[in-house]
């Protein structure tokens, strides 16, 4: 049975002075059995969040928002996988904003995956199409190409052992006023697993797929109602304890139903 996962991506928000308190508040309000929770603050807040959660809530993990594709070197402002060890257990790779703002290619993202796994970090690989791709009927081809480009050089068994998660981000549904339907996300999750199977993943059906497109407490139910969707990568709403409480609470309903169905 695939786990139900809610990952909070705080993006470029919070400071070391307030991140720990926010993390504690969210942790205390989202203690829901069988839901895996991850908080991904900015790099400068990783230690504050880690320290705030020590002893307070063993059920919530800390993740980083990115990792560099090289082990070390002359890369001013970047952070290597080795630097994250001890600060984070998870890491987001290939987020749509990194692809857009930093021109990250699938090849670079694939190398980042490798560095994350080598360091013992659990990666969340993001994929998703732009509005023009969706309107032109190229969504499946674009997402399939991103998967092939990032995963093609890796041993599926190694990434499976590392607990890799896929996050589907329909970029056209993030801050555009256009909303993705649960059925859109569910269909793409099935496509993602079918593509991975073609790439040699014998256990593609066991890989969790999250939805990440303007997720809120009001709309999370529509996406979690899809059997192919296993949780969410939450952006702006993850900074609001009330929203996170609602999102994780609804995820708990899904997790409980899956446990009951498999018992």
Catalytic residues: 95, 169
DSSP 110-150: HHHHHHHHHTT-EEEEEE---HHHHHTT-HHHHHHHHHHHH
Q: Please, are residues 112 and 94 in contact by the beta-carbon 8 Å criterion?
A: yes
Q: How far apart are CA 56 and CA 24, in angstroms?
A: 8
Both tokens of 106, joined, read 């699938």
- Element of type H or E holding 222: helix 220-224
> Residue 23 is encoded by which pair of tokens?
């993390």
How many angstroms separate the CA atoms of 195 and 39, rounded?
29
Q: Give the C-alpha distances (Å, rounded to integers) separating 55 from 17, 120, 195, 215.
A: 19, 22, 41, 29
Whole-angstrom distance between the N-terminal and C-terminal Cα of the chain?
11
């Amino acid at each position: 049975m695939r786990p139900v996962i809610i990952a909070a991506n705080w993006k470029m928000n919070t400071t070391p002075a307030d991140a720990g308190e926010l993390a504690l508040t969210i942790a205390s309000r989202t203690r829901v059995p069988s839901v895996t929770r991850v908080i991904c603050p900015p790099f400068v807040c990783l230690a504050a969040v880690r320290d705030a959660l020590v002893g307070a809530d063993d059920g919530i993990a800390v993740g980083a928002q990115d990792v560099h594709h090289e082990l070390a070197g002359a890369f001013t402002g970047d952070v290597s996988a080795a630097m994250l060890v001890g600060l984070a257990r998870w890491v987001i790779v290939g987020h749509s904003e990194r692809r857009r703002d930093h021109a990250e290619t699938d090849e670079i993202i694939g190398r980042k995956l490798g560095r994350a796994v080598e360091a013992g970090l659990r990666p969340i690989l993001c994929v998703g199409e732009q509005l023009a791709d969706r309107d032109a009927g190229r969504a499946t081809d674009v997402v399939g190409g991103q998967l092939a480009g990032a995963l093609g050089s890796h041993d599926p068994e190694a990434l499976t052992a590392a607990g890799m998660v896929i996050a589907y981000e329909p970029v056209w549904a993030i801050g555009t006023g256009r909303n993705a339907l649960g059925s859109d996300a569910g269909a793409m999750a099935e496509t993602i697993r079918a593509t991975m199977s073609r790439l040699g993943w014998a256990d593609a059906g066991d890989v969790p797929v999250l939805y990440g497109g303007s997720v809120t407490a009001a709309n999370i139910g529509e996406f979690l109602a899809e059997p192919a969707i296993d949780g969410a990568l939450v952006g702006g709403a993850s900074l609001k304890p009330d929203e996170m409480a609602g999102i994780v609470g609804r995820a708990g309903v899904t997790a409980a139903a899956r446990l009951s169905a498999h018992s």
